[in-house]
Amino acid sequence: MSPEGRGIATDTFRILHVSTGNVCRSPITERLTRHALTDRLGGAATTGLIVESAGTWGHEGAPMEANAAAVLADFGADASGFTGRELLDEHVIRADLVLTATRDHRAQVISMGHSAGLRTFTLKEFTRLVRAIDPATLPPLDDGMAARARALVRAAAALRGWLLAPSADADEVHDPYGAPITFFRSIGDEISQALDPVVTALTGVTARR
């Protein structure tokens, strides 16, 4: 499918979170994103945003790791009904924004083709870029969430060569697979903090404290 064939329904914007097994980091990120969007806007207002996840070595059909589900419970987010998926071409083709746990995941997504380079970032990289974007330059929510989201991705892509990571590790979310719950919780906190400015930019609404 050509890039022009993606997202013909312009009132829809699809976010794809990618990690390795799709049982720890990307499920946490997917469900925290959904939770944050609903918290800011309410369920009906997020209808045009589709948030999903997959893994480069995805455990197809596997449940989320128990510690990952426990982290989501800490945040009041819903872990129910999740099953792991292996990353497929069709997932990348459909996605308007791909957010990966690490730079290696980002490279793997981009290597799949489908003109994914300009819409694929690590989560922390995207956060860094979004922080530098003036929200006043984005379309208002009255124009639709999808239009605002697409403008945010374009603006972030334009900044990528100018705002480099301060260190090699700065754009990584490390894998907690097999680690104790305390490490899972630290990763959950990292992900939540990285998502906060992204969701604020998407919605124009800051988190309730």
SS3 per-residue string spanning 58-86 = CCCCCCCCHHHHHHHHHCCCCCCCCCCCE
Phi, psi torsion values for 152, nearest 5 degrees: -65, -45
Q: Which residues of 81-92 are buried (b: 16+ CB within 10 A; e: fewer)?
A: ebebbebeeebb
122 three-class SS? strand
Q: Would you mind telling me the total number of residues written for the chain in this entry?
A: 209
Measuring CA to CA, which residue among 120, 28, 197, 136 is closest to residue 205? 197
pLDDT tens-place string over residues 100-126? 999 999 999 999 988 999 999 999 999
Number of Cβ within a 10 Å radius of residue 123:
28
pTM, two decimals, is 0.93
- The answer to whether residue 10 scores a pLDDT higher than 90 is no
Ramachandran class of 17: left when φ > 0, alpha when ψ lies in -120 to 50, beta otherwise:
beta
6 three-class SS? coil
- The answer to whether residue 29 scores a pLDDT higher than 90 is yes
